[in-house]
Amino acid sequence: MKVLVACEYSGTVREAFRKLGHEVYSCDIIPSDDNSPYHLQCDVLSILNDGWDLMIAHPPCTHLAVSGAKHFHKKQVEQKEALNFVKTLMDASIPRICIENPVSIISSRIRKPDQIIQPWQFGHEAQKTTCLWLKNLPLLAHTNIVSKGDFYISPTGKKLPRWYSDNKNWKVRSKTFQGIADAMAKQWGT
């Protein structure tokens, strides 16, 4: 199967599919973390029509995630562009598509997600609410339900997952958990 993992620099999802023998490329405008020859550093829109069988896309959530709602009034142009990008990915002529994003305005401006998952449903003691918008793909079955993990109270009084507070780097926070990547590869790579 020919798989495109759009907007991924970490290679986590790409490598989960490659381990199962698929022809897989990640694509992002930034270099891959692992310097893989299977990473295309370009605008994903330039390769959308290259005969992919499956696309898993992780569009940037900077202007979409509701965690930044207090700034929405200053981001209307950026939000419109981000939503247009998501819509273009959703409408791509690829037979099977998954769009992955946190809780965001995609739900209210385009459509509700087909599924909401958590890392603790896939073997990681952590919470990170992740929405999936699916085209011709089944819901992702949970593989290993564990504890939801620890929390801490931020200086502003907000309850946050411990894993999130321990990782200040945006790259670490945005990376797909390995258990989720493995489930995608095993369940959708057929």
pLDDT at 42: 97
Query: How far is residue 113's CA from residue 130's CA, in Å, rounded to a whole number?
Result: 10
Can you give the CATH number for the domain in which 102 is found?
Answer: 3.40.50.150
Distances (CA, A) of 88 to 39, 47, 119: 21, 12, 27
Q: What pLDDT does 71 receive?
A: 62
Of 17-26, 106-115, 168-177, 178-187, the poorest mean pLDDT is in 168-177
More confident residue, 156 or 86: 86
The answer to whether residues 18 and 34 touch, using CB atoms and an 8 Å cutoff, is: no
- Asked if the structure places residue 156 within a domain, the reply is no
**pLDDT of res. 64:** 76
Residue pair 99/89 in contact by the 8 Å Cβ criterion: yes
Better pLDDT: 97 or 156: 97
- Domain of 72 in residue numbering reads as 2-144+174-188
| 0.85 surpassed by pTM | yes
Q: How far apart are CA 37 and CA 100, in angstroms?
A: 24
Q: Both ends of the chain: CA-CA distance in Å?
A: 8
Give a yes or no: residue 66 inside a domain. yes
Residue 72 lies in a domain: yes
Residue linked to tokens 């896309």 = 57
**Domain assignment present for 151:** no
pLDDT tens digits, 119-173: 999 999 988 899 999 999 999 999 999 998 877 777 777 767 665 665 566 566 6
Helix, strand or coil, per DSSP, at residue 94: coil
pLDDT of residue 67: 67
**Look-up: residue for tokens 């958990």?**
177
**Minimum mean pLDDT range among 23-27, 108-112, 157-161:** 157-161
Amino acid at position 32, single letter: S
| 18-23 average pLDDT score | 98
Q: Is residue 165 part of a domain?
A: no
Q: Please answer whether residues 121 and 142 qualify as being in contact, where contact means their C-beta atoms are separated by less than 8 angstroms.
A: yes
Predicted confidence at residue 186, as pLDDT, reads 98
Decide if 53 is inside a domain.
yes
pLDDT in tens, 42-62: 999 999 999 999 999 999 887
Average pLDDT, the chain: 89
Nearest CA to 25 out of 8, 135, 188, 90 is that of 8
Name the domain count of the chain. 1
Distance CA 68, CA 73 (A): 10
- CA-based nearest residue to 92, from 38, 144, 137, 53: 53
Q: Is residue 183 part of a domain?
A: yes
Note whether residue 76 is domain-resident: yes
140, amino acid identity: L
Rg (CA), the chain: 16
